[in-house]
Amino acid sequence: MTAPVTVGVSLKTYFGNARARAWFAEVAPRLQAHPAIADGRVRFFVIPTYLQIPAAIEAFAESPVLVGAQDVSAHPPGAFTGEITAADLAEVGVQVAEIGHAERRRLFGETDEVTASKAAASLEHGITPVLCIGEDARMSGADAASANLDQLAADLEGVPAGPVVVAYEPVWAIGATEPAPDDHIATVTRALRGAIDADAGRAGSVVIYGGSAGPGLLARLDGAADGLFLGRFAHDPDNLLAVIDEAAALADARSAS
């Protein structure tokens, strides 16, 4: 069976609770009514702040939309003040967790070892890691592919079997006016998908692209990525639904090939 095209949105901390609830209320019925979401051709996840998770779970309860967390503790429940454990997140209904984002690495010093620990904790509690990787500086597509394959291996070192969403986000493209060039993205995502496909323990995994992603990109990538990871572009629900439409078209094309 062809894997669904995957589209995700991280709201970071742009929205307060009131605005987040308003966004959920506007987006939820439109996604619920979208045929490709309803029949599973397109898988969609949204990652709000921790405090917004219960409202998101409630808003999307009548749809297949997955709700995620922007981080997760590497530690088990116990004396770890301020941490949010994977067990706690799973208990309230979180199904995906964003791990290893460039901001976590840059601002909070998270290493590949920390990222791997968080991925392990997530999978142990049935939460799918959205594993963010990407090169810091511009380089050739071949060099970027090599660097990202090394990072992927390090971030999955010792991580138990289970599917992951590999989110390729070149750091230099995050927040930029344009995404990375199409051929650059395709070179890296194809290499990452090859590595994931070769690992029997990662069945069901996908590779998506983030980093100033927007309309038209999925079509231009022509199947080189399994979906997109959106940021501020998706704050406008019309923009988000436009990408969902493109994802549905990609899903149909993949099924027909």
Task: Name the residues annotated as catalytic.
Answer: 101, 169
d(CA 119, CA 98) in angstroms, rounded, equals 9
Task: Write out the two tokens for 246.
Answer: 């493109």
Task: Give the residue carrying structure tokens 């669904």.
Answer: 4
d(CA 228, CA 246) in angstroms, rounded, equals 10
Q: Are 121 and 74 in contact (CB under 8 A)?
A: yes
Considering only CA atoms, which of 145, 135, 153 is closest in space to residue 211? 135
Q: Judge residue 256's burial from the number of C-beta atoms within 10 Å of its C-beta, 0-12 exposed, 13-18 middle, 19 or more buried.
A: exposed
Coil, helix or strand at residue 160: coil
